[in-house]
Structure 1
Amino acid sequence: MELFGGLFSLIILVLDIWAILNVIRSSAGTGAKVLWILLIVILPLVGLIIWALMGPRSRV
């Protein structure tokens, strides 16, 4: 059970870092970027889900 929890936490950490990098690369304003990053950092799983559904998209 401990292995599953650790693996799940590692996956969430990697996805959060990926989301933060995408927020930084997005065309959103500075204030919006700061708010999105704070949401992802303070609420890692919930923030990630909200960002995936409604967050700014990166410049491609």
Structure 2
Amino acid sequence: MQIEYIWIALAVILLLLELWAINIVLRSTSGWETKGLWLVVLIFVPLLGLIAWVMAGPKREMQEPRKS
């Protein structure tokens, strides 16, 4: 396996983790200020932001899915 494919695979994994973290942040019950701060950190500093979010950010408080 060539080294380029490994870097591409790692980039795809990081992108999927970022999208998952952004989804969790948007669904959380925190205020918009907190959500906005985490979104800025996750988008502009992807790897370090993701590590910081895993350590300090996620709370298991999520809104219930809307029933239509």
Cα distance in 1 for residues equivalent to 2:49 and 2:15: 12
Runs of 5+ in structure 2 lacking a partner?
A: 64-68
Give structure 1 regions of 4+ aligned residues with deviation exceeding 3 angstroms: none
2:14 aligned with 1:12, yes or no? yes
Alignment of 1:33-52 (within 5 A): 33-52=35-54
Cα distance in 1 for residues equivalent to 2:36 and 2:58: 12
Identity over aligned pairs, percent: 37
Select the structure of larger CA radius of gyration: 2
Amino acid at match of 1:33: K
Q: Per chain length, whose mean CA-contact separation is higher, i.e. which structure has more relative contact order (CA < 8 Å, sep 6+)?
A: 1
Please report the TM-score for the alignment, with normalisation by the length of structure 2. 0.82
Shift of 1:27: 1.2
Counterpart residue number, 1:59: 62
| More helix, by proportion | 1
Cα distance in 1 for residues equivalent to 2:4 and 2:55: 30
Please report the TM-score for the alignment, with normalisation by the length of structure 1. 0.93
Q: CA RMSD in A?
A: 1.2
Assess, with a 3 A threshold, how the Cα gap between structure 1 residues 59 and 24 changes in structure 2: closer, same or farther: same
